[in-house]
Chains A and B, each alone.
Chain A
């Protein structure tokens, strides 16, 4: 029976996802090699270099992935709250036990290796959220449940914010997609997205122009919807709220210190300060833009190879892809990611219990958020928020944590046939 079950794990493992994962990890390794390539360390296996170290992380990840596949699937459900607790403790501890690196207290130093607990908090939070929300009487309509869900998400988020690692903290926003899938009304998601967009626009555009546009949009909405009196009032209220929001953001912006204002402007691409704050994005765009249709070829990327792009093996790894493989290579990467997301949603949807399904959505949302922010940043459409590109970016903590995140899902998915619908635990 046990033998049979184990065979079934491998039989039921989702091969397309595993294939994409393998492609990403190997492509990432090669791109890290290209990004930090120096002729005197020309071996990709040289472990004094980032690419050599990444090779070790890939090995460790493979081992962990194998372990996960061998563990009983019930373990993750059982382990979820405990992992959450451990991660909360570790993330608090790191603030007191670590040295400051780039302004953040986020790294444990063990010998020459560094460990970032915030990375591992993601899967723990995902497991916990899945377990809590899969409870048979769970409902988002229940205020108590609402608060608990919010608490589960906001606690690690707050702690990580306190570590001064804004990027990793923002990742927790991705759970809004999970909540939406699990009963959060569509209009809340819509308002969240709309508020985000209007806030960005308020800073980018002339406020007066934006207000006219909002009023115009409101008028068109009233006309198109042939709104009743009530509807018109609703539209008017929405427009009024938006105008207030724009005015408020504008006011707050001018309350900022000049250097902060400049920083915001640069992040939004409004002001081009190529030597200072805007340097990263500008260089990143140059590297990607100069790749052209087909790219410059492996190790031929001058911008990345000669260190014009900062953080090029970690947060800006996509520059190497863009420069050396051109639009063709970048498109393949983008499309593969989108395929992965579609696959992950499909996996989540085919689960027979809510724990697996919610966890699946957590994985898809977290990866999607990372992908969006990271690529958006390198191509200059989103502010510079330093988070890694899943599976590609150099870094043991992030690669291992994404591996754990993904393989727990694959493990759960592999044994879905043995599970009953709904919550069996």
Chain B
């Protein structure tokens, strides 16, 4: 029986040791080694990004301009791909096998690629494809559809202000220090860009439990680790949508800009650029293609003229000259200069049109006498108070700078240009120090030469006149999330270096311009409009038609600048457009439908302006 009991014990030992080995193994698997916990989470936890809705955009009266629309992106987690019925998959998606392979290659090469991270396989599925896909999704393990929102623009207007959103580039991802991820959208232009941080909101993360077929099975720990997405803040712009749309209607088929500002606040009421485009071209699957088309368009519809294009201001600059001359003490309302169809300054002859002579300041502005303002310029620059021409020029330049010219005003839109205001150093470099005088740069006095002013700057100058001496940095956003924007940059008054007392005569003259001067076409019943025409010479073609004005004269509500390229006299196109805009804004009615009709139907792009406005124009004439 010794043998027998040994055998019994042997069997006990075998049975017990197997149990013991299993216990050790289980202890290792379950308690010591935690890799399996991670594997398990990988199996069942799907990290879904919850994209916040971007903030909405309103006009100043609360009219909705931009909202969001649901779109469906097809995502793939490469690591989860199982045996895929590639042919069936391609068929549902409507792509070829080649496309399929290429996309995967592209995904694998992209920055920050990780096979565990979801990337977009197909952007913005169409609704039928989305529906077909939802049905078969369980067949395509590793793929899922992610809902997010895209922009929808209610109106076709204000494309340049609205801007657009686009997919982040590698560079943007890098700059954002990991905030953005591949496939994210961000504001590329317009307020979408300048208010990106406010509009974008905060991304949320939802942990979803999925089964072996990648079907969602519920929230992980009832959403304990989820973070909610926070919708972007709504932005209220300063735009008056009706005015904006009306401006676009008037300017249609004419290259140019309209900028209207509320002088007391610096709020931009309308900012029109033509040629323009439909902002809805920048949404949806065709975003990229449309962008390329617009980029290649010879009309340059993407160019934001009102804030970026510098024009010689022409005669409207005479207003600034009047103020600077008075401030410098070389000009007073009674100063008279003679003009015999122009005058000579050194070797330069400046032409003028026939008008009574000699004239004091106020009628000088009203008839827009070239000789008068060249004389004012000469007396400013050749002022004996200053030791050198350079010093006097610098003084002049300082005054002009205070009107916001030659610098970026700091509008809250991307792409603003500074215009051009030459320095004394610039002329010294060309002519040599001490070798140039007023007569050398005499055309600056009548807004020609090297001067370059953007329509925004012109409108800002108008606002200064309306305010009798100061401006508030023009801006496009009024309130964020319903709270009035309290940014000192957009409330601070920037006073010019010209004393307020000198504005009176200039404003009188501007009223004359409209009532009996060069811009009677802009006259309005019951509203006193103060304005000034300009006809800016353009070395590349026909003159630009320029007009700026504010109204009413007392307690002005609107300051407006209009530039129509290659359109001739300021009074021909720019002044009536400004006048209609003012009327529309202040009275909401149009009393001169014939004028509106004429402007709307004018096509200067396909049918350049006729010769009648250009014939008999003397050299160096501005009006």
Asked whether any CB of chain A lies closer than 8 Å to the CB of B43, the reply is yes
Contacting pair A288 B29 (CB below 8 A): yes
Asked whether any CB of chain A lies closer than 8 Å to the CB of B594, the reply is no
Query: Taking A275-B82, A302-B40, A308-B44 as contacts, is the C-beta distance between A288 and B30 under 8 angstroms?
Result: yes
Give A381 to B20 CA distance when docked, in angstroms. 13
Contacting pair B22 A375 (CB below 8 A): yes
Contacting pair B26 A349 (CB below 8 A): no
Contacting pair B30 A322 (CB below 8 A): yes
Contact partner, A330, options B11, B26, B209, Cβ 8 Å: B26
Stretch at the interface among B210-218, B384-392, B477-485, B570-578: B210-218
Contacting pair B15 A341 (CB below 8 A): yes
A372 surroundings in chain B (CB, below 8 A): 18
Contacting pair A331 B8 (CB below 8 A): no
User: A251 to nearest B CB, angstroms?
Assistant: 30
A303 surroundings in chain B (CB, below 8 A): 40, 43-44
Binary CB contact string for chain B from 30 to 44 against chain A (1 if under 8 A, 0 otherwise): 110101110111011
Asked whether any CB of chain B lies closer than 8 Å to the CB of A186, the reply is yes
Contacting pair B7 A379 (CB below 8 A): no
Contacting pair B40 A293 (CB below 8 A): no
Give A335 to B19 CA distance when docked, in angstroms. 7
User: B4 to nearest A CB, angstroms?
Assistant: 8
Report which residue of B8, B14, B22 has the largest number of chain A beta carbons within 10 angstroms of its beta carbon.
B22
Give A394 to B19 CA distance when docked, in angstroms. 22
Asked whether any CB of chain A lies closer than 8 Å to the CB of B25, the reply is yes
B595 surroundings in chain A (CB, below 8 A): none
Asked whether any CB of chain A lies closer than 8 Å to the CB of B132, the reply is no
Give A38 to B516 CA distance when docked, in angstroms. 88
Give A74 to B486 CA distance when docked, in angstroms. 101
Query: Taking A288-B29, A379-B26 as contacts, is the C-beta distance between A302 and B15 under 8 angstroms?
Result: no
Asked whether any CB of chain A lies closer than 8 Å to the CB of B16, the reply is yes
User: A205 to nearest B CB, angstroms?
Assistant: 19
Asked whether any CB of chain A lies closer than 8 Å to the CB of B23, the reply is yes
Contacting pair A302 B43 (CB below 8 A): yes
Asked whether any CB of chain B lies closer than 8 Å to the CB of A337, the reply is yes
Asked whether any CB of chain B lies closer than 8 Å to the CB of A292, the reply is yes
A368 surroundings in chain B (CB, below 8 A): 15, 18
Binary CB contact string for chain A from 173 to 200 against chain B (1 if under 8 A, 0 otherwise): 0000100110000100100000000000
Contacting pair A381 B25 (CB below 8 A): yes
Chain B interface size range? 35 or more
Contacting pair B30 A345 (CB below 8 A): no
Interface residues of A in 369-417 (CB under 8 A from B): 371-372, 375-376, 379-381
User: B43 to nearest A CB, angstroms?
Assistant: 5
Give A283 to B36 CA distance when docked, in angstroms. 9
Interface residues of B in 37-69 (CB under 8 A from A): 37, 39-41, 43-44
Query: Taking A306-B209, A334-B22, A341-B15 as contacts, is the C-beta distance between A181 and B8 under 8 angstroms?
Result: yes
A307 surroundings in chain B (CB, below 8 A): 211-213
Query: Taking A286-B39, A293-B31, A306-B44 as contacts, is the C-beta distance between A345 and B8 under 8 angstroms?
Result: yes
Q: List 13 A-B contacts (CB under 8 A).
A: A177-B14, A283-B43, A288-B30, A288-B36, A289-B29, A289-B36, A289-B37, A305-B211, A306-B209, A307-B212, A335-B23, A345-B12, A381-B25
Give A303 to B18 CA distance when docked, in angstroms. 26
Give A335 to B82 CA distance when docked, in angstroms. 39
Question: Footprint of A on B, CB under 8 Å?
Answer: 6-8, 10-12, 14-16, 18-19, 21-23, 25-27, 29-31, 33, 35-37, 39-41, 43-44, 82, 209-213, 217
Asked whether any CB of chain B lies closer than 8 Å to the CB of A172, the reply is no
B36 surroundings in chain A (CB, below 8 A): 285-286, 288-290
Give A302 to B36 CA distance when docked, in angstroms. 13
Give A323 to B277 CA distance when docked, in angstroms. 60
Interface residues of A in 289-331 (CB under 8 A from B): 289-293, 302-303, 305-308, 322, 326-327, 330-331
Asked whether any CB of chain B lies closer than 8 Å to the CB of A342, the reply is yes
Query: Taking A306-B210, A379-B25 as contacts, is the C-beta distance between A349 and B8 under 8 angstroms?
Result: yes
Query: Taking A289-B33, A306-B210 as contacts, is the C-beta distance between A334 and B26 under 8 angstroms?
Result: yes
Contact partner, A327, options B10, B27, B41, B212, Cβ 8 Å: B27
Asked whether any CB of chain B lies closer than 8 Å to the CB of A287, the reply is yes
User: A334 to nearest B CB, angstroms?
Assistant: 5
Contacting pair A308 B15 (CB below 8 A): no
Give A268 to B44 CA distance when docked, in angstroms. 27
Contacting pair A290 B26 (CB below 8 A): no
Query: Taking A181-B8, A186-B7, A289-B39 as contacts, is the C-beta distance between A326 and B22 under 8 angstroms?
Result: no
Report, nearest first, the 10 A-B pairs whose CB atoms are least far apart.
Answer: A289-B36, A290-B40, A306-B211, A338-B19, A327-B30, A307-B212, A286-B39, A341-B15, A289-B29, A302-B44
Contact partner, B23, options A275, A283, A285, A334, Cβ 8 Å: A334
User: A380 to nearest B CB, angstroms?
Assistant: 8
Contacting pair B212 A331 (CB below 8 A): no
Q: B27: nearest residue on chain A (CB-CB)?
A: A327
User: B32 to nearest A CB, angstroms?
Assistant: 10
Give A331 to B41 CA distance when docked, in angstroms. 24
A288 surroundings in chain B (CB, below 8 A): 26, 29-30, 36
Give A349 to B4 CA distance when docked, in angstroms. 10
User: A286 to nearest B CB, angstroms?
Assistant: 4
B19 surroundings in chain A (CB, below 8 A): 334-335, 337-338, 341
Contact partner, B40, options A289, A331, A376, Cβ 8 Å: A289
Contacting pair A285 B15 (CB below 8 A): no
Query: Taking A285-B36, A330-B30 as contacts, is the C-beta distance between A308 and B25 under 8 angstroms?
Result: no
Give A372 to B17 CA distance when docked, in angstroms. 11
> Known pairs A289-B35, A326-B30, A330-B30. 4 more at Cβ < 8 A?
A288-B29, A308-B212, A338-B19, A379-B29
Give A326 to B217 CA distance when docked, in angstroms. 23
Give A380 to B40 CA distance when docked, in angstroms. 16
Give A252 to B343 CA distance when docked, in angstroms. 113
A290 surroundings in chain B (CB, below 8 A): 36-37, 39-41
User: A149 to nearest B CB, angstroms?
Assistant: 17
Contacting pair A293 B30 (CB below 8 A): yes
Query: Taking A288-B29, A337-B19, A372-B18 as contacts, is the C-beta distance between A181 and B40 under 8 angstroms?
Result: no
Contact partner, A331, options B26, B33, B37, B209, Cβ 8 Å: B26
Q: B7: nearest residue on chain A (CB-CB)?
A: A181
B40 surroundings in chain A (CB, below 8 A): 286-287, 289-290, 302-303
A302 surroundings in chain B (CB, below 8 A): 40, 43-44, 209
User: A425 to nearest B CB, angstroms?
Assistant: 22
Contacting pair A286 B43 (CB below 8 A): yes
A275 surroundings in chain B (CB, below 8 A): 82
Give A331 to B20 CA distance when docked, in angstroms. 10
A341 surroundings in chain B (CB, below 8 A): 15, 19
Give A381 to B44 CA distance when docked, in angstroms. 25
B209 surroundings in chain A (CB, below 8 A): 302, 306
User: A379 to nearest B CB, angstroms?
Assistant: 5
Binary CB contact string for chain A from 227 to 258 against chain B (1 if under 8 A, 0 otherwise): 00000000000000000000000000000000
Give A85 to B249 CA distance when docked, in angstroms. 100
Give A327 to B209 CA distance when docked, in angstroms. 24
A287 surroundings in chain B (CB, below 8 A): 40
Give A283 to B39 CA distance when docked, in angstroms. 9
Give A249 to B11 CA distance when docked, in angstroms. 29
Q: A301: nearest residue on chain B (CB-CB)?
A: B40
User: B3 to nearest A CB, angstroms?
Assistant: 9
Give A189 to B37 CA distance when docked, in angstroms. 39
Query: Taking A334-B23, A335-B19 as contacts, is the C-beta distance between A289 and B30 under 8 angstroms?
Result: yes
A349 surroundings in chain B (CB, below 8 A): 8
A177 surroundings in chain B (CB, below 8 A): 11, 14
Give A288 to B22 CA distance when docked, in angstroms. 12
B27 surroundings in chain A (CB, below 8 A): 327
A286 surroundings in chain B (CB, below 8 A): 36, 39-40, 43
Contacting pair B39 A327 (CB below 8 A): no
User: A338 to nearest B CB, angstroms?
Assistant: 4
Report which residue of B8, B26, B41 has the largest number of chain A beta carbons within 10 angstroms of its beta carbon.
B26
Query: Taking A286-B40, A349-B8 as contacts, is the C-beta distance between A338 and B26 under 8 angstroms?
Result: no
